[in-house]
Structure 1
Amino acid sequence: MIEPGTILNERYKLIKTLGEGGMANVYLARDLILDRDVAVKVLRLDLQNDPDTVRRFQREAMATSELVHPNIVSIYDVGESHGQQFLVMEYVKGSDLKHYIVEHFPIPYQRVVDMMEEILSAVQTAHDHNIIHRDLKPQNILIDANGHAKITDFGIAVALSENSMTMTNSLLGSVHYLSPEQARGSMPTRQSDIYALGIILFEMLTGSVPFEGDSAVSIALKHFQEEVPSVRAFDPHIPQALENVVFKATAKNPANRYTSAEAMASDLNTALSPARAHEAKYVIPKDDLDETRVVPIVPNGPTPPHNSDGGADQPASQAAPENRPKKKRRRWLIVAISAAVVLLLLIGIGVVTANQKADVAVPDLRGMTTAQAKTALKSARLKVGKYRYAYSTKVDKDLVIDSDPKRQVSVKESSSVNLILSRGQPRITLDNYVGQDYSDAKSDLQKRGVTVKEKLIKTNEAAAGKILSQSIKAGKKVIASKTTITFGVAEPIKVKKDNTTFALRDLTGYTEKSLRDYANEVGLKIVISQSYSDTVDTGMVISQNPAAGTQVQSGATVNVTISQGADPDEVKTVSKTISIPYQAPSAASGSASASASSSGVTPNGIQVFIGDKTHNISDINKTFNITADDQVTITLQVSKKYPGSYRVVRDGTVIAQEANITQ
């Protein structure tokens, strides 16, 4: 373990331990340069000298750094400090999916589907980069503060193109989520990750894993000997279509699972659709090699060696009669000719029948995915024709709106049926409505299906009813029926008509809201400007014109300046005086007397490093010797954008340092 407060590479200050693993420990740290929290994974001290472990640790960083996806934990940096390997990752504030399931179970089905789709999208990205995770489990899926999933720990992920990483004899991954082929010791594939995802989906729906046992071996055996239990047996309210996703993802034979994470996500996306409410239970196809087959006997084929005329006990050396009666020969000839005639008649009937196609009804394909529609058409002895896309306010994107010919229309079998697929709800592009009349913009948007709200802003700087702001930026494409836009609309300030003269208040320290409240109360017009300030908090009034106490009338204009806070680019000069105690060398240093000064005292060598807007902390700023307690004054040019730092070294040992100096 590393003590909190330790700084790695003069940049990452460790704050506390987040977790301990078999290979590395994870710490919450502060990036002193970018001023943000990060997670730092440090290889355990007892493994630093193991080249295989170091190589595996570095491989994790290489494998994950090329994966850029909102649902995959990002790798920011990889480094080594004092012989310790470490990597810097995105810090996800929240818990892992294992804890989330415990704390939130039962989880609403739609929430389960949404979270799984995020996970599947991330896994698809990894697979697109030829990276198999191998260890997918709820503990390796983090849930951030907004409820979004992020996959982490690609520590045993393997790039398919790297043959040197083949581990056919290693059983990798946690046993509760291990695919049958991994349990047998086979090389994992993309379908192995899909199996683990199916088990994770099972756990999210039931709150527990499908297989338990007294040992890892007994659990692994269950993965390739027993079928995954029914989630509907645990909760009968789970839709059959959703259970079918679990069954297909966890098929024992990888060939029977989804071909990709994207395919699983596509099926999962419609699992709660009313169109699939009466879906039949998915039956996993039996492997052909596991089925018992009856091998037909070939007519007129070779006679079995020990049964020449039907006698089971006839010796093999016994000779068959040389001549058979002629009647038998004629009888067999008649039978053969008759069989040939019957065969020809059957062939003729088959040809005629084949040319007479039966009439079939087009099935109802509405709400299905293209894959489901293909299956339904194949079952009805029909084919998929062309695809056509259309917008729909009722049917989700990529699902079937209708077919051509339509449902229940009678057509000949093997006919093609065209599919009309949904583009989703139509999107509109929002304009810049600032400066327009609110009533006109509201009328136009409401006709297009957008919900419009009004927020009145008291001002005399714009005509009444003019739009001053909008909650959604111009140019954004939105689904009209799902969009609410709020406009800030000008409302005139009622100015007192009696022209009363009064003394202006001291407005310094007012917020913009309290400023406008006062202006409305006495009938003033306020003109606001902004400026940086080191002494006045952001959003507060710095100054005013006319000054406080000035006699003004209702309707007068007052100019105020509001603080934006300190200027991040303003450079300040900061001086630090550091005391340097002299330390006499130990008696064990053999050459100490040789380097003594003329006074007979051995000097200490001092090095000063500084980092600011113009200096790099890695470069020596000054070097000198001391023979008694001394001090040094360091001058830094710093700002919020360029925080300062310093380090004082005495005879190779750091005796004083400080970072993130801004004032």
Structure 2
Amino acid sequence: MKKINLKFSFKDTYEKLQSNVWGILAFYVSALIIMAAIAFTVYFVNIKKPEKVLVPNVQGKKLEDALIEMQVKELYPKINMRYSDTPGDEGTILEQSPKAGAIVKGYSRVSLVVSRGVIVDKIDEYIGMNIDELKLKLQTLFAGQTRPLIVLAEPQYKPDASEAGTIIEQDPPAGTSISEPVTVTLIVSRGPNYDNTKVPNLIGQSVNDLLQTITRSKLVFDITAHKSDDSEKPGTVVSQQQFDSEYVPNYTRISVEMAMPSKPIEDNIYGILTETLANYPYPVPMKLEAVPYEGESYTILSFNHPGGNLTIPYAVPKGTTLVLSVVDKVVAKTTVN
């Protein structure tokens, strides 16, 4: 019987494995690269590009309905809120971009402008407010609105003990609901002008004296002037209008004549500032300031006046600019030469 040799050599086996290690590594690296290439190919082959969709028309619809339509189209909303001027449209789509009918890729964003409703929904309490403050408030409140919800009718004015310009009645009353633009009618105080004023004696008053009288009095002075003659003192009042009564209603006009020097006195030029203003429903605060050619400005006169023809005497150095303001707004500038 033939004998089989089963002798095993660990040394020979190790040397064979060591000689084939690089081949084994190369095999595994190649296999990994092939598998990765197959995986990437399968991934990109299976990715679908977003389909193009038609943007639906959601303008004028409620937000929840618009969102459902956009979800069906696989579109995403970008929402902006804005006040509107139409009562009852809160939550309604006012604008959309892109417009309805546009073709866009799926999963695109569509900008929606949603109504927050109207700014106000009822009439506030205006009694006791100043008419000018209310006008400014409403102008600010409805800035940018094409159709303001509250419109003021031309106010009616009547004498009242409250301060001039104060709202004393309104229609509709406070708390009235607003469902559409409404016109508000106001009755406004002219101020306590029912009082009478005593007519002062102006004869002989200088320019400065007359300016002080204008400041204190509730009369309107219509002042004219002529060059003084030898019998008249330059720069003084020489005549005034006479009335049948010692008292006249507030802001009655009174004619006054002054005799003015023909040349400067102590470097001051004399004259009458004359302006034509709007007729105001009640006397408003006015101010006349002097801005010298050199030096600091100063106030010549602060007073109330109902508008129309305005005359103020002055005695200022040559080159002085006279600045007239009505309710703190400059309305006229004149330089004295």
TM-score by length of 2: 0.33
Larger % of strand: which?
2
Larger % of helix: which?
1
Name the larger-Rg structure. Answer: 2
With a CA cutoff of 8 Å and minimum separation of 6, indicate the structure with the bigger relative contact order. 2
